[in-house]
Amino acid sequence: MLLLVRHAHAGDKYRWEGPDSVRPLSAAGQAEAAGLLIRLEDYPLERILSSPTVRCQQTVQPLARDRYLGVECHPALGVDADLAVVLALLGDLQAQSAVVCTHGEVIGQVLARLVVDGLTVDHQPLVWPKGSSWLLEGTDGRFTFGRYLPPLPLAGAPTPSWQTSVAQRLRPLQVMPGASRR
């Protein structure tokens, strides 16, 4: 069993002034990350792997703390990941009950390839919104079934002090009410 998680909401990347790799979760993203505790509470976990980006690490940190596990950062899970390398990594992790947090671009490619290779899914069309997960099951490095787990944001999730300071620093950049948000 493997749980493939898309990082939670991290604000508008076009409004972020720093390197994209250090863009943190937004308040909504913190609530989605906290929701993973409930969404994944029935699944045994042995490992938690993440893209090296801050938003991916922050998505799985509450889960890692809750399960007394470390977060293993893997450059192979970055936004520009090589599909063959990611698929090999996922196949190796299959027998370890792992959570893997990465980016929408990567998850889309992985799911499309797995479906072509015979993965049966419980949700069509394939979707992977921020904070969502896909439970992938199978044997011998081959995934045969995928179950979609929508995001479960927890209202009132605590906002860490670093998040508050980032939000205050970016306040002038916020979109005005009624404006379109991504």
- Checking if the pLDDT of 173 tops 60, the result is no
- Quick one: which H or E segment has residue 161? helix 161-170
Q: What pLDDT is stored for residue 84 in this prediction? A: 96
Bridge partners (DSSP) listed for residue 149 = 133
- Checking if the pLDDT of 176 tops 60, the result is no
Give the rounded percent of residues in the chain with a pLDDT score beyond 70: 85
- Checking if the pLDDT of 29 tops 80, the result is yes
In this prediction the pTM is: 0.83
Split at pLDDT 50, 70, 90, the class of 42 is very high
Give per-residue pLDDT as tens, 58-101. Answer: 999 999 999 999 999 999 999 999 999 999 999 988 888 999 99
Q: Which CATH number fits domain 2-168: 3.40.50.720, 3.40.30.10, 3.40.640.10, 3.40.50.1240?
A: 3.40.50.1240
Q: What is the mean pLDDT of residues 138-150?
A: 92
CA distance 182 to 162: 23
Q: Do residues 32 and 3 lie in contact, with contact meaning Cβ atoms separated by under 8 Å? A: no
The sign one gets for the Cα dihedral 132, 103, 127, 93 is negative
Tokens 């980006």 correspond to 53
